[in-house]
Chain A
Amino acid sequence: MHLLDSYSQTFLSTGQERSDKQRENFKIATFSLVNSKLNIGVQNTGDIPINITRLWIQNTTTTDWFQTYSVKINVPPGTTASSVGQSVPLYINSANSYNIKLVTERGNSQQFAVNSANSAPISIQLLALPPSVASGLTTELLMIVTNNGSSTLTNIAPAALTNTNPTVCNTGPVSPSRYATLPPGSTATFKWDVTVNGGPTDSCTITASLQNGYAGNSASAKISVSTLKITSTDFNTIAGVLTINYAKFQWNDGSGWHTGWSVPKGQSLAFQLNVTNNNSTGPLYLSQHSVLYMYALASGQSKAFFLVGNVSNDISQIATFTCPPAADYCKSVPANKWMYLNFSATQTGGNAPNQFSSASSGEYAGFLVLYGKYSPSQGEWGTQYAQNIPYLGIYAS
């Protein structure tokens, strides 16, 4: 009976030791170099105390460099022991990489690597979000580093970015600047704000890698300058379906086409405007009622210049805006296209050029009033559309 009791007691205590070993759980919480010596923070994440007894270190940069050091550090459950390694007479060369293993009294261990991103390639992704932005705007560059190895990496920091076109892509500071530790399977994320300046064809390619990284272990992302586009719906809400190019405004007094805001009074005049149909779905057939109305700000002699056909330098040869046998809608502005329109006639469908009377010098505010219909063809009813386009101004003298 005594033997059986003793045996069962031995069995139980051995089982308890095995169980305690399995319950041990710890991790490398922090890592840094202080005075070129190891400064490791070990966190006991289990529910029993651990006693770290040995530190193994291998310099993987050189061949066959191994060291073992005895340490004695007790870590109660739920606490973190700091400055582990400071008492070890070992000086770390930050240019080298090391594999370090901490072993507990019960025989469990945790291994990690120092500056060892250069020992094997790891997963690096570089994303520009978004990859195409308008000039003057900012995109975000995201570097995702995943530790696909079996040991904890330390001191993970991105190297300086390689930028093929710094004038186009201006990168800001990285955030965060480093990760102290990166356990196996974990991911570190670094981000930069990149301000883009350039034309629509400009771009840059940015390459990111890690400090002390594995040769060739990098990732690239291309950032392009895009044209800022507004959908026709948005544009129409703001500016209307029809727009004019104010810079193309011209007038003709019989001596040729002129630019500028000063026009002669007492002479026949024709105005030419560059009109764009921003509707992307169909052409706009213009009505002969379209008119350029000049509102006299002082004299009270406002004038209307109706839509006409072609205008030559001979102002007396104005073509009417007619197209027999059809009565109206003789000309169309295709979808998303522009066209020059001439305004001169004193009345709808006429060919007699209007003029500012010689007694009506002064300022005039112009309004282009366009009438038309959106229709597949001239003869179909389509959808009538009219729009007033302001902001024109002339001075008659």
Chain B
Amino acid sequence: MMKVRARKALSSVIAGAILLTATVLMGTGLVSWSNTNLTSYQASLTNSYSTNVNKLNENLVIENVWFVTNPQSLRVTLTNVGNEGLNVTDIKLQTSSSTQDTPQKAIIMPKQQTTIQIGNSTSPYLWQSKVPITITATTVRGTIFTTQVMPS
């Protein structure tokens, strides 16, 4: 005749403790993950807001354009009439027959102006009388300001 030997199980107290520990760990991880995400989103939103507001506040005027004869070139005066500083990174001159891009790095503070010469003695800009030129200034934030002029 076989003898049945009785075994002892894990106590319910220990099981409860394990479960509680696991729950706490999982909850802490979830909260930590959420917090990281929210911070990231907030930073992104703040950055996006700043970019758009700054872009919205950019206000540039192509105030005057001189047609210089010797050397044949243009002197473009840009005035920042907005409340934010801006950085003109490109000026494009476009006629019906040609397009010329001139990269720039012109930082203009609010209410200030700068004059950019396009063309020089070694590389003149050959404007023609009575031929209209479309001038486009692009800022680093991507705002575009344009005007049209015509040499007399």
Determine the distance from Cα of A347 to Cα of B79 in the docked complex, in whole angstroms.
Answer: 110
Interface residues of B in 18-73 (CB under 8 A from A): 45-46, 49, 52-53, 56-57, 59, 61, 63-64, 66, 68-70
Quick check: is A167 within 8 A (CB to CB) of the other chain?
A: no
Contact of A10 among B46, B56, B70, B81 (CB under 8 A): B56
Min Cβ gap A7→B in Å is: 6
Contact of B56 among A11, A63, A66, A106 (CB under 8 A): A11
Q: A64-B69, A119-B152 given as contacts; is B49 within 8 A of A103 (CB)?
A: no
Contact of A56 among B46, B56, B64 (CB under 8 A): B64
By a CB distance below 8 angstroms, the chain A residues around B61 are 107
Q: Mark A4-27, 1 if CB is under 8 A from B, else 0.
A: 001100110010010000000000
Q: Which residue of B lies closest to A120 (CB)?
A: B152
DSSP majority for the B interface?
mixed
Quick check: is A101 within 8 A (CB to CB) of the other chain?
A: yes
By a CB distance below 8 angstroms, the chain B residues around A45 are none
Q: Which residue of A lies closest to B63 (CB)?
A: A103
Quick check: is B92 within 8 A (CB to CB) of the other chain?
A: no
Q: Are A66 and B75 in contact (CB under 8 A)?
A: yes
Q: Are A105 and B66 in contact (CB under 8 A)?
A: no
Min Cβ gap B82→A in Å is: 8
Determine the distance from Cα of A7 to Cα of B68 in the docked complex, in whole angstroms.
Answer: 43
Quick check: is A109 within 8 A (CB to CB) of the other chain?
A: yes
Q: Are A7 and B69 in contact (CB under 8 A)?
A: no
Quick check: is A3 within 8 A (CB to CB) of the other chain?
A: yes
Determine the distance from Cα of A105 to Cα of B63 in the docked complex, in whole angstroms.
Answer: 11
By a CB distance below 8 angstroms, the chain B residues around A14 are 56-57, 59
Contact of B66 among A6, A58, A120 (CB under 8 A): A58
Q: Which residue of A lies closest to B48 (CB)?
A: A3
Q: A64-B68, A107-B79 given as contacts; is B63 within 8 A of A6 (CB)?
A: no
Interface residues of B in 106-144 (CB under 8 A from A): none
Quick check: is A303 within 8 A (CB to CB) of the other chain?
A: no
Q: Are B81 and A63 in contact (CB under 8 A)?
A: no
By a CB distance below 8 angstroms, the chain B residues around A58 are 66
By a CB distance below 8 angstroms, the chain A residues around B75 are 66
Q: Which residue of B lies closest to A107 (CB)?
A: B61
Q: Which residue of A lies closest to B58 (CB)?
A: A14
Q: Are A109 and B63 in contact (CB under 8 A)?
A: yes
DSSP majority for the A interface?
mixed
Q: A6-B53, A7-B49 given as contacts; is B81 within 8 A of A107 (CB)?
A: yes
Interface residues of A in 74-128 (CB under 8 A from B): 101, 103, 105-107, 109, 119-120
Quick check: is A54 within 8 A (CB to CB) of the other chain?
A: yes
Q: Which residue of A lies closest to B71 (CB)?
A: A64
Determine the distance from Cα of A54 to Cα of B111 in the docked complex, in whole angstroms.
Answer: 12
Determine the distance from Cα of A56 to Cα of B113 in the docked complex, in whole angstroms.
Answer: 14
Determine the distance from Cα of A68 to Cα of B75 in the docked complex, in whole angstroms.
Answer: 13
Q: A3-B46, A14-B56, A14-B57 given as contacts; is B63 within 8 A of A64 (CB)?
A: no
Min Cβ gap A24→B in Å is: 12
Identify the interface centre among A7, A11, A60, A64: most chain B CB within 10 Å of its CB. A64
By a CB distance below 8 angstroms, the chain B residues around A3 are 45-46, 49
Q: Are B66 and A63 in contact (CB under 8 A)?
A: no
Q: Are B53 and A10 in contact (CB under 8 A)?
A: yes
Min Cβ gap B113→A in Å is: 8
Min Cβ gap A109→B in Å is: 7
Q: Are B64 and A103 in contact (CB under 8 A)?
A: yes
By a CB distance below 8 angstroms, the chain A residues around B46 are 3
Q: Are B79 and A10 in contact (CB under 8 A)?
A: no
By a CB distance below 8 angstroms, the chain A residues around B59 are 14, 17, 107
A-B pairs with beta carbons under 8 Å apart, 25 shown: A3-B45, A3-B49, A6-B49, A7-B49, A7-B53, A10-B53, A10-B56, A14-B59, A17-B59, A17-B82, A54-B63, A56-B63, A64-B69, A66-B66, A66-B75, A68-B77, A103-B64, A103-B79, A106-B81, A107-B61, A107-B63, A107-B79, A107-B81, A109-B63, A109-B64
Q: Which 7 A-B pairs have the closest CB atoms?
A: A107-B61, A107-B81, A10-B53, A63-B69, A3-B49, A66-B66, A56-B64
List B residues at the A interface (Cβ < 8 Å): 45-46, 49, 52-53, 56-57, 59, 61, 63-64, 66, 68-70, 75, 77, 79, 81-82, 152
Not counting A64-B69, A107-B63, a sample of 16 additional A-B residue pairs whose C-beta atoms are within 8 angstroms of each other reads A3-B45, A3-B49, A6-B49, A6-B53, A14-B59, A17-B82, A58-B66, A60-B152, A63-B69, A63-B70, A68-B64, A103-B63, A103-B64, A103-B79, A107-B61, A109-B63
